[in-house]
Structure 1
Amino acid sequence: MAVSALEIHLPSDLMDYCPLPIFINQRHRWLKEQSTLWILEQGFMTLQDQELWDGELLANVVHPHADNEELKIICDFFNLLMAADDLTDSQGARNAQMTCDVFLGSLRHPSTPSSSNFSRAVADFAKRYKLRASSSAHARFMTHIESYLSAVASQATLRDNQVTPALEPFVIQRRENCSMKTCYDLIELELGIDLPDKIYDDPEFLVAYEAAVDLAWLGNDIYSFFKEVEHGQGGYNVITVYMAHFRMGMQEAFDHAGAEFRRIWDRFQAAKASMPSFGEEHDNDVRRFVEGLELWVILMLSCNWSFESRRYFGEQGREIMATHTVLFETKAKNLA
């Protein structure tokens, strides 16, 4: 099969929609040491995998205000997510469902994990998180993680059947299997706040929250597309879905993704500016939480993790960050 080479230009003006500066939690060196020790002790991720993924940098960038214990809990969860993501991406539907069941079971019943290293690691995280989180945040987290794992298992079924989903159902499912709702739950842990359920039920708050979810998975799909295609997993990515749905070329699909990102970013900013009052006891916490959402979005626009880690672009991250250009060589079958 012939190999073709394409010069793909990533959306280059997204940083224009990024007014906040990037901070890195000053506990980064401490976290790096502690997280590496925990990962190696648990035995579910190799040192090489950890360095490629660099969950410590991710945790420090998007949670700059977390204290030591909270930051460690957050980073451990990121590592669990990446381990589950990489494992289920390589599994068929049946085994992916089993992995998801182990994950959820260990979260629900951390005192009785299974014999696997991964189950024990999840249980260790679950115990520490529950001690630190508010009851309402923990309940939301459990609801969100269950939806995430269900969507991951469904994605494996589509992959087994080599199905590129239609746009609308893809977006609905992507909002769940991107795991961002669970990640956003940890903002409350970082800030030491407790938002009542009535705020999450408010339609105007939900506009900003759901826009932040869409921005995160869309930005992730833009950057992860090349890695996924290289591993034969490109069928479940918004770029491939755009190409099929709109009958676009690859560059057109990237351009469309950039335009969609900017449209959603504007919606997020408008919702943030018009956020209603929830009473004096909650308004400052809501403001800080929404700023936390914005930091996650900025991560998808910045070099601090997407290009500095080697997860998406290997050793070429800084060069691609500077040029916003990827020289992409692939066989057509990898897009399936």
Structure 2
Amino acid sequence: MPPSGIATPALEIRLPNLMGYCPLPIFINQRYRWLKERSTLWILEHGFMSLQNQESWDGELLASVAHPHAGKDELKTACDFFNLLMAADDLTDTQGARNAQMTCDVFLGSLRDPSMPSSSNFSRAVADFAKRYKLRASSNAHARFMKHMESYLQTVASQATLRDNHVTPALELFIIQRRENCCMKACYDLIELELGIDLPNKIYGDPEFLVAYEAAVDLAWLGNDIYSFFKEIEHGQGGYNVITVYMVQLRMDIQAAFDYAGAEFRRIWDRFQAAKASMPSFGDEHDDDVRRFIEGLEIWCIGNIYWSFESRRYFGEQGRQVMATQICSVQTKASII
């Protein structure tokens, strides 16, 4: 460690150009400004997130780029869900295993029985969302959503245990866990709500469909780890991030780890596109719905990249500059692993 008062050298990291890998247009839901006002009112009413955190997170923008075709009720439901996830993510990131488990139990309990929330503001907010989502979602999508949320919350609690024990998991185990604790499967369930479709469970069991679906999950969490790494390092939470796992498990320096992550993203994007192009027929009654859902996954992935720079969540006020240059600075290598 350098002596007190002496600045540590900055490392300039070249980010992989994920938007260049998937050069698709960005569409923002025309109800974004309408949503911004109402979401803020909802958050303040329930009191589980500060206005400052909500504004830097900008869940309304994420909802609007991830669900550009959603009606106002569906868009509001998606945004409220994203805000709940952000609050839970920020809270459990700072909690030990026992308290993180309690937070996850409250979340899941309020989803399962929204008529009986606990006394906490967060629990009441979850219950409010759960009632509205269940009213609008198809029975198939709702059942999948609950299954995905249970898996998500279980792995979030497990992650806290690893963090308590200062364990960097093996890469294979990390990927398995990350596919669940990124919560993208539950997020993708809301695409059906946006589009007003009801995909039968047999489609989710089709091998070709699953190639595209699972690739979309990997694209989302990998992009998130690339962009959130600097924020997590700043807050001492960088141990559970794929960049750190690459550095430790594959014995890479930080730039090599980012380069490797970019190559992985491009490989997965190509796999997604190949699966999209070769999607089999599921019958005339389902083919158009499947096509629209797969396009919804694609929109989510590119929208998530755009939001990562446009919000202040990861890069503060420098997001557009980082997006333009693909360069980000970190102060010291010593604090990274």
For Structure 1 versus Structure 2, the TM-score category normalised by the shorter chain is over 0.9
1:210 corresponds to 2:206:
no
| Residues 8, 327 of structure 1: 8 Å contact kept | yes
Which residue of structure 1 lines up, in the alignment, with residue 58 of structure 2? 54
Which residue of structure 1 lines up, in the alignment, with residue 297 of structure 2? 293
Q: TM-score, structure 2 length as denominator?
A: 0.97
Using the aligned pairs only, state the percent identity: 81
Which residue of structure 2 lines up, in the alignment, with residue 335 of structure 1? 336
8, 14, 26: which one pairs with 2:13? 8
| CA distance 1:30–1:300, change in 2 (3 Å) | closer
Which residue of structure 2 lines up, in the alignment, with residue 262 of structure 1? 266
Which residue of structure 2 lines up, in the alignment, with residue 23 of structure 1? 27
| Residues 15, 258 of structure 2: 8 Å contact kept | yes
Which residue of structure 2 lines up, in the alignment, with residue 316 of structure 1? 318
**Greater Cα offset, 189-198 or 316-325:** 316-325
Superposition deviation, residue 318 in structure 1: 1.0
| Residues 230, 330 of structure 1: 8 Å contact kept | no
Which residue of structure 2 lines up, in the alignment, with residue 274 of structure 1? 278
165, 168, 173: which one pairs with 2:169? 165
| Distance in 2, Cα, partners of 1:196 & 1:269 | 23
Superposition deviation, residue 331 in structure 1: 5.9
Which residue of structure 2 lines up, in the alignment, with residue 108 of structure 1? 112
| Residues 219, 269 of structure 2: 8 Å contact kept | yes
1:207-263 Cα distance to aligned partner (Å, 9 max, x none)? 000000000000000000000011000000000000011100000000000000000
* 3-state DSSP of counterpart to 2:56: helix
Which residue of structure 1 lines up, in the alignment, with residue 254 of structure 2? 250
| Residues 18, 301 of structure 1: 8 Å contact kept | no
Which residue of structure 2 lines up, in the alignment, with residue 187 of structure 1? 191
94, 100, 108: which one pairs with 1:96? 100
| Residues 14, 326 of structure 2: 8 Å contact kept | yes
Which residue of structure 1 lines up, in the alignment, with residue 39 of structure 2? 35
Q: 5+ residue gaps in structure 1?
A: none
1:128 corresponds to 2:142:
no
| Distance in 2, Cα, partners of 1:82 & 1:335 | 23
1:76 corresponds to 2:80:
yes
Q: TM-score, structure 1 length as denominator?
A: 0.97
| Residues 22, 269 of structure 2: 8 Å contact kept | no
| Residues 100, 149 of structure 1: 8 Å contact kept | yes
Superposition deviation, residue 82 in structure 1: 0.2
* 3-state DSSP of counterpart to 1:156: helix
1:54-80 Cα distance to aligned partner (Å, 9 max, x none)? 000000011011101111111000000
| Residues 233, 335 of structure 1: 8 Å contact kept | no
| Distance in 2, Cα, partners of 1:300 & 1:269 | 17
1:231 corresponds to 2:235:
yes
Letter of the 1:73 counterpart: T
